[in-house]
Structures are given as structure tokens and as C-alpha cells.
Amino acid sequence: MGWFNVVKGAYPVIDMVTLDRSIQDSAGGRAIVRGSSMALDANSWRVTTVSSDTATKTPVYFALQAASDLSAQFAGSVALPKITGIPCNYPMEVETDQFDPAGTYTIGCGIGPGDAGKVINRAAGVGNTMIGFCTAVPYRRWINDAVAVPGYRTGNNVNVIRFMTCFIPALA
């Protein structure tokens, strides 16, 4: 679906640091939904992957809209939509449905960039980048625009995780 909600923090504000960039012309770029974790690669967005972004020294961003959003396609093109990302080093508490549901999360555990633009429990180990601290383990909440019946905007319960953003690159 793609859910991203700022629970605490100054959002949106006029001095908020965001970047507007086109997505990469690839299946991975087209998979970006609201809340996906993204990285800049050759000045365009791509979803994060464990192999490329676990030890990254550049900030991870969160997508504020989906690549399939019509306004993103209008800002760029149908082939290369332009979307906005907000960096993980902007202090805020967020909740998103873009997390690995197979992970084990506890309050205070580190959150890192994972595959397919989802956040994961940051595995203990040297060199792993942290982009947040878990403040609420995954739980179900009602989201008004979640799809319960395809073709309709009916609302539905969705699993989300809540965490406080931070950026600790290649944690040693």
C-alpha cells in the first residue's frame, strides 16, 4: 500500500529539508511507494537494499509519495516520475507499513535500511548503518485510504512500525 505518517516532529514546515529527484528507470525504482526507504544513486532515487545500503555513509530518505502517483508522473514523466524524499537525519517520530514483517522488533532496537525499500531490525555488527530507533513494536492501526476491497477506497487495518529517525552511518 505505502503508508508514512509523521507522529512527532516539525512536519511539514517551510524549512524542512527535502529532495525532489526522478526515480531510476528500473523495476526497483517503480516499486517506490509512500514510506519506502530510498537512496540517491547517480542523482536519482532507488529503493534501498541490504547489500548496497547496510554500510552506507549517505543518508537514507523516505518517499513522501509513490512513483505511480499521477502528480509524480506529471512532475517528471510516466517513465521517470519525480518524487520527494525526506532524510532520515531529520528528527521525527514516524510510522510506516514499509518494514520487514519477518523481523523481530523491540522498543529501542536499531532500525536500518532493508531490501525492497523496507526498514529492518538493524543486525548487531560493525559497519551497519542505523536510520532509527524503534519506539513501538509493529501493531495494527486503521488507515482511511487503505484498500479493503479492490477498486474502492474503503479503509482497512494495516500493520505499521513506529520509530524515531536518526542517522548513524556505518556504526562501529
- Where the chain has pLDDT below 50, the residues are none
Report pLDDT for 170: 78
Over the chain, what is the mean pLDDT?
A: 86
pTM: predicted TM-score of the whole model, two decimal places:
0.89
Can you give the pLDDT at residue 131?
Answer: 92
Residue 57: the pLDDT is: 79
Percent of the chain scoring above 90 in pLDDT? 42
Q: Which three cell numbers stand for residue 2?
A: 505505502
* pLDDT recorded at residue 74: 84
Predicted pLDDT of residue 28? 60
Domain tally for the chain?
Answer: 1
Helical spans, DSSP H, in 7-119: 27-30, 50-53, 70-75
Q: Which cell goes with 73?
A: 508522473
Q: 23: which DSSP letter? A: B
pLDDT at 137: 96
Contact criterion met (CB below 8 Å) for 135 and 162: yes
Q: Residue 76 has which C-alpha cell?
A: 517528471
3-state secondary structure of 20: strand
Query: What domain range is 20 assigned to?
Result: 4-171
